[in-house]
Amino acid sequence: MKKENIIKSYDMAKEMYKGIGVDTEEVIKKLNDIPISIHCWQGDDVSGFENSEGDLTGGIQSTGNYMGKARTPEELRGDLEKAFSLIPGKKRLNLHAIYLETDGEKIERNEIEPKHFKKWVEWAKKNDIGLDFNPTLFSHEYADDGMTLSHPDKKIRDFWIEHVKRCRKISEYFGKELGTPCVNNIWIPDGFKDITVDKLGPRKRLEESLDEILEEKMDPKYHLDAVESKLFGIGSESYVVGSHEFYMGYAMKNKTVLCLDAGHFHPTEVISNKISAISLFVSDILLHVSRPVRWDSDHVIVLDEELQEIAKEIIRNKLLDRVHIGLDFFDASINRIASWSIGTRNMLKALLIALLEPTTTLAEAERGFDFTTRLAMLEELKSYPWQAVWDYFCENNGYPVGLEWLDEVRDYENNVLINRK
Ligand SMILES: C[C@H](O)[C@H](O)[C@@H](O)C(=O)CO
Ligand SMILES: [Mn+2]
């Protein structure tokens, strides 16, 4: 699209939004400042570098066989740099413990240290981004029973407790090095496929394990603990130890961050409607923005109603400083860099639409029980020219406008990814 046309369309949009009391210049500034934590694991189908040939376990799956998956940390960082060049705004990188670098040495999960992530920190500094982190309690022989922190065998529990404790140290190291707190999110796959007799026992053990892990207090300037629930996984259809009620209770009692993954609830249940309620009882919320489709919780996010509702709940309730926006999807059936670009740009578009809403006017109508105005405005806003503001935002910040980013992905595919056999 020609620059002059982008500016012309933007000027018209600016006038229209001004007419409903919205300052698009202010909105653009705000959007540029919202950090989105982009997950590294889309780039290599959650393989990591500990044992990249091993199976992905834990009841999650990355289906598809698109060419060009990253096989080394260098390739993954290169792909991320490409993706970051297509995505406007402030970015963070969300790493998993299996993305460690050990120069070929076998390091067990209960032995990992900050030094194994030194290159990621150097890369983050170079790219001026913050890092987030996740212990990896799957794709390992000690998770083969489908139980980790709630395992009946103390030896296995202790192994994983030590792993998560070490991850907290790595998270703290990231926070200190990069000057922005690292959110260390604990997700475990523990559960049972079929009718479960003792549902309390594993939950008691999980609570005890978490208590032990969190015993050492850490400065929130550098590190934040988050816990993530799930309704079911593949092979844990009947019972998941770390359910929503379990972690909501745990987070409130122990003052941790609560992670809401959009794909971890009943099919008609949405996380957008949970944000305001939970914000009253926990200080911080971590989002794993994802898209559930049937049994899969991790499809690439599209600009659907729920994504827009999630963004609106954050913006309307002024929760930007307490809601950490992280993404969690992985699709191996499409170009992985395109997946990052589609999903993250959609997250930003949803936030932009929310920022362009004349919320005060709408809320006033609602408070006055004028539901006619509320519905009329909400519907009219759907066809307001937010896209012209989006194009201008991209162009002005030096990022591709419209589908231009796809040409860049194709070039990268033809020049770089093609060489990965
Ligand atoms: C790889 C992630 O840790 C994982 O997706 C987790 O966050 C999850 O959502 C599991 O379903
Ligand atoms: Mn998740």
pLDDT averaged over every residue in the chain: 97
Compute φ and ψ for 146, nearest 5 degrees.
80, 15
For the chain, percent of residues with pLDDT exceeding 90: 98
Distance CA 132, CA 93 (A): 6
- The protein residue with its alpha carbon nearest to ligand 1, atom 7, reads 187
State pLDDT tens for residues 64-101: 999 999 999 999 999 999 999 999 999 999 999 999 99
pLDDT at residue 52, rounded to an integer = 84
Ligand 1: nearest atom to the Cα of 58? 10
Distance CA 135, CA 271 (A): 23
pLDDT at residue 199, rounded to an integer = 98
The ligand whose atoms approach the alpha carbon of 136 most closely is 1
Read off the pLDDT band of 111 (50, 70, 90).
very high
Q: Which residues are annotated as a binding site for Mn(2+)?
A: 264, 296, 298
The gap from C-alpha 344 to its chain's centroid, in whole angstroms, comes to: 10
* Structural contact between residues 228 and 187, judged by C-beta atoms closer than 8 angstroms: yes
Read off the pLDDT band of 321 (50, 70, 90).
very high
* Structural contact between residues 416 and 78, judged by C-beta atoms closer than 8 angstroms: yes
Distance 380 CA to ligand 1 centre (A): 37
Q: What is the DSSP string of 316-344?
A: HTT-TTTEEEEE----SSS-HHHHHHHHH
Angle at 63 between CA 57 and CA 69, to 5 degrees: 95
Find out whether the beta carbon of 163 lies less than 6 Å from any atom of ligand 1: no
Distance 264 CA to ligand 1 centre (A): 9
Find out whether the beta carbon of 186 lies less than 6 Å from any atom of ligand 1: no
Find out whether the beta carbon of 47 lies less than 6 Å from any atom of ligand 1: no
Q: Is the pLDDT of residue 1 over 90?
A: no
CB-count burial class (<10 Å; 0-12, 13-18, 19+) for 268: exposed
The reported pTM is: 0.98
Ligand 1: nearest atom to the Cα of 60? 11
Q: Which of 244, 286, 288 to mutate to test the pocket of ligand 1 (most atoms within 8 A of CB)?
A: 288
Find out whether the beta carbon of 174 lies less than 6 Å from any atom of ligand 1: no
What would you report as the CA-atom Rg of the chain, rounded to the nearest whole angstrom?
22
Q: Is the pLDDT of residue 421 over 80?
A: no
Read off the pLDDT band of 270 (50, 70, 90).
very high
Find out whether the beta carbon of 230 lies less than 6 Å from any atom of ligand 1: yes
State pLDDT tens for residues 123-165: 999 999 999 999 999 999 999 999 999 999 999 999 999 999 9
Q: Is the pLDDT of residue 61 over 80?
A: yes
Read off the pLDDT band of 53 (50, 70, 90).
confident
Does the domain at 35-356 match CATH 3.20.20.150? Answer given as: yes
State pLDDT tens for residues 35-45: 999 999 999 99
Q: What are the boundaries of each domain within the chain?
A: 35-356
Q: Which of 42, 183, 187 to mutate to test the pocket of ligand 1 (most atoms within 8 A of CB)?
A: 187
For the chain, percent of residues with pLDDT exceeding 70: 100
Distance CA 352, CA 237 (A): 37
Residues contacting residue 247 through CB under 8 Å, at least 6 positions apart: 227, 228, 229, 258, 259
- The protein residue with its alpha carbon nearest to ligand 1, atom 11, reads 60
Distance 185 CA to ligand 1 centre (A): 10
Residue pointed to by tokens 């539901």: 371
Distance CA 394, CA 87 (A): 8
pLDDT at residue 280, rounded to an integer = 98
Distance CA 227, CA 286 (A): 9
